[in-house]
């Protein structure tokens, strides 16, 4: 079916300003992605999947200005021993990055390896993204595959001794960054990927993750605090037998963030946990869109998303669990909750379950509420000032999501930062 002219116009206008990287092993994948993008067209305001989030500033050719912000605190993960890979406005910065050699992992730069045949990456680049286009289209991810100018290819073959930290710095108020990473975790391998930073005025990032049988990947992300930044991110993960993916994202500030996570559990006994905590004050729109497909026996998935909203901030959750006919013994859990600290803020949620197997346990819940007055009074009656008591209860609200971080030191650091944010925003 032909696309409406407005969709074609939006799509072509966006593409017109972008360069399609040529040559090398990714060329075919990029061409395919461009064809996919043209067939789907960029999202429009009336699209069902974009019902709660306006896509226009993510799809228009011009990048809305985003002022740089000095958070006046050291970047998260600074105190931890890790391998740093730094991008400034979406461009790899070798000067700030560590040497990319680490035992148990090979790391290559997407832009560098255009001429080299990295077969494992060739087999994944754009492949998981393409799989993730069905049953719901994600055109901004196809755009990413076609036009990404940089990114890293991380092949985890063992158990690297340090986490790999992708750091996204923002230096230009109108930067438009498109990064594409590919991760492969081999059978029996295990790694931790950290991500942080505001990245750019507008950031489009895709990460494709393939976890082989028994592989384990921890992913912890903190999105940057620049108030005016915009981001659309996609994570496409495919999990093999007995593999584990644990992903946690914390987001404070940001005028627009859409984080899509697409997980396919393709091997028996795989485990996928996807969690997020977001806090917004004022001009803040945060959208978590998650799609988890159970396509194997006895797999477990958890989605835990918590949002704290005040002064007109908007939170969105679209979460789906799809259980295929043969995915018996599925254990699926999904919770999305918002804490509305005033009457102006909004939480929009669309939890979905679609189950074709008959022997499954799936539960889901979505709530929206204010601070518990009983608990607040109890704390105050013990001498805790109202502000402090509210912050304590807010952190308690976020606890179920933060507990998804397995590394206690990192979890503690993130809680301290959330506490700091709360104490600054009253």
Q: Which one, 100 or 339, has the nearer CB to another protein?
A: 339
Q: Shortest Cβ distance from residue 392 to another protein (Å)? A: 6
Residue whose CB is less far from another protein, 111 or 392? 392
In this structure, the number of other CB atoms found within 10 A of the CB of residue 37 comes to: 24
Do 248 and 400 form a contact (C-beta atoms < 8 A)? no
3-class state of residue 157 by DSSP: coil
Q: Two tokens at 206?
A: 């895709």
Cis omega (within 30 of 0) on the bond before 135? yes
- For another protein, which is the closer residue by CB, 31 or 392? 392
- In the complex with another protein, which residue's Cβ is closer, 380 or 425? 380
Residues 352/357/363/367 CA torsion (nearest 10 deg): 10
Q: Which residues bind another protein (CB under 8 A)?
A: 372-375, 377-386, 388-389, 392-393, 395-400
Give the residue with the Cβ less far from another protein, 20 or 375. Answer: 375
The tokens for 193 are 């990927």
> What minimum distance in Å lies between the beta carbon of 321 and another protein?
24
Min dist CB 247 to another protein, Å, is 21
- C-alpha angle 330/124/83, rounded to 5°? 95
Closest approach, Cβ 71 to another protein, in A, equals 26
Supply the minimum distance, in Å, between the C-beta of residue 316 and another protein.
23
Query: CB of 250 within 8 A of CB of 278?
Result: yes
- Least Å distance, CB 7 to another protein, is 45
Euclidean distance between CA atoms 398 and 342, whole angstroms = 17
Q: DSSP state, 89?
A: T
For another protein, the closer CB: 34 or 398: 398
Question: How far is it, in rounded angstroms, from Cα 421 to Cα 426?
Answer: 9
């Amino acid at each position: 079916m032909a696309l409406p002219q407005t969709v074609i116009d939006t799509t072509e206008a966006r593409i017109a300003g972008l360069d399609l990287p040529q040559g090398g092993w990714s060329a075919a994948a990029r061409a395919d992605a461009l064809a996919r993008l043209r067939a789907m067209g960029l999202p429009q305001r009336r699209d069902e999947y974009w019902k709660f989030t306006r896509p226009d500033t993510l799809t228009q050719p011009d990048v809305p200005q985003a002022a740089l912000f000095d958070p006046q605190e050291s970047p998260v993960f600074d105190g931890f021993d890790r391998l740093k890979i730094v991008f400034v406005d979406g461009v790899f910065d070798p000067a700030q990055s560590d040497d990319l050699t680490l035992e148990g992992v090979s790391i290559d730069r997407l832009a560098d390896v255009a001429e080299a045949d990295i077969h494992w990456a060739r087999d994944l680049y754009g492949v998981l993204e393409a799989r993730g286009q069905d049953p719901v289209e994600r055109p901004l991810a196809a755009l990413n595959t076609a036009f990404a100018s940089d990114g890293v290819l991380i092949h985890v073959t063992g158990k690297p001794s340090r986490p790999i930290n992708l750091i996204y710095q923002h230096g230009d108020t109108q930067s438009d960054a498109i990064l594409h990473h590919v991760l492969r975790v081999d059978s029996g391998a295990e790694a931790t990927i950290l991500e942080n930073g505001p990245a750019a005025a507008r950031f489009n990032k895709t990460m494709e993750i393939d976890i082989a049988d028994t592989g384990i990947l921890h992913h912890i992300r903190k999105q940057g605090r620049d108030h005016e930044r915009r981001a659309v991110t996609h994570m496409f993960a495919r999990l093999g037998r007995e593999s584990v993916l644990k992903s946690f994202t914390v987001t404070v500030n940001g005028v627009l963030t859409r984080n899509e996570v697409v997980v396919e559990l393709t091997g028996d006994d795989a485990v996928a946990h996807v969690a997020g905590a977001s806090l917004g004050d004022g001009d803040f729109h945060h959208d978590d869109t998650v799609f988890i497909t159970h396509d194997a026996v006895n797999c477990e998935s958890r989605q835990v998303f918590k949002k704290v909203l005040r002064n007109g901030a908007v939170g969105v959750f679209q979460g789906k669990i799809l259980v295929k006919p043969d995915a018996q013994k599925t254990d699926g859990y999904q919770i999305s909750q918002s804490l509305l600290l005033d009457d102006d803020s909004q939480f929009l949620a669309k939890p979905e379950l679609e189950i074709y197997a008959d022997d499954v346990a799936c539960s889901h819940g979505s709530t929206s509420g204010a601070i518990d007055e009983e608990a607040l009074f109890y704390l105050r009656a013990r001498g805790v000032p109202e502000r402090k008591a509210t912050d304590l209860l807010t952190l308690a609200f976020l606890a179920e999501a933060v507990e998804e971080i397995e590394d206690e030191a990192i979890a503690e650091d993130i809680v301290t930062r959330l506490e700091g944010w709360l104490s600054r925003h009253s």
